Amino acid sequence: MSSRKEEKERLRREREERERVAAAKAKRTRLLQLFGGVVAACAIIAGVAVAVSSGGSGADDSADVDEGRLEAAAQRAGCVYRSFPLEGDEHVTEPLSAADYKTNPPTSGPHDPEPAPDGLYVAGNEPEIGNWVHTLEHGRIIFQYRPGVDSSVVAQLEKLFNEDVAGSGGGYHSVLMRNNTRMPFEVAAVAWRHYIGCREFTPKSIEALRAFREELVDKGPETVP
């Protein structure tokens, strides 16, 4: 009799032990599932954050531009500083004119597949609009002057063009050319999605153009050496 009671007691203890082990295993499974769900949710949130912060297409790399500095420099010089939405970046082979862009001078938009090389262009030999807009996409700064401007103004722009830029030498990633879009400014500097324009040139215009280059050179979405 005693043996039967002991056997029943042993079986009961074994059953309870099996139930305890099964319950513990089920609890661990639920915890792992919960943890996995949290990790997956975090990954989704992180992915959304990266997509938002990257802007998707990388259309603009100028988020760190000190626009307050540029606005102040422009105001001191009697000029205007503006930044603009992206007008597009597709390559086209047909000739382009100022009418194909929403800003004058243009700051982004469709352009020729071939960018204009850096450098100082003699009046009458300036690159076509579609070529120099492509140059902007590569992070270049383009200094422009209106046709008919006094030669002394061009000389001061040439001096600015030849200044050293952050230890990289004169003319670094820059273009100087006569404007070919009938812009409303006597002098201007253009970057991808930005420009600063002066309806009348003054000595302070040079300071504003210099600040513009310092802030925006190499800030294009496809900057190349």
pLDDT of residue 166: 83
pLDDT of residue 14: 65
- Indicate if 30 and 81 belong to the same structural domain: no
pLDDT of residue 136: 98
Number of domain units in the chain? 2
| pTM given for the model | 0.73
- Indicate if 22 and 115 belong to the same structural domain: no
pLDDT of residue 27: 59
- Indicate if 43 and 142 belong to the same structural domain: no
- Indicate if 134 and 185 belong to the same structural domain: yes
Domain interval for residue 197: 67-216
Would 62 be classed as within a structural domain? no
Please say whether the beta carbons of 174 and 158 come within 8 A: no
pLDDT of residue 59: 43
Task: Look at the alpha carbons of 25, 28, 34, 37 in this order and tell me if their dihedral is positive or negative.
Answer: negative
Category of 89 on φ-ψ map: left (φ > 0), alpha (ψ -120 to 50) or beta: alpha
Would 49 be classed as within a structural domain? yes
Would 225 be classed as within a structural domain? no
Task: Look at the alpha carbons of 118, 63, 50, 59 in this order and tell me if their dihedral is positive or negative.
Answer: negative
**pLDDT tens digits in sequence order for the chain, 225 residues long:** 456 666 666 666 766 666 665 556 655 555 545 444 444 444 444 443 333 333 333 444 556 899 999 999 999 999 999 999 999 999 999 999 999 999 999 999 999 999 999 999 999 999 999 999 999 999 999 999 999 999 999 999 999 999 999 899 999 999 999 999 999 999 999 999 999 999 999 999 999 999 999 999 999 999 888
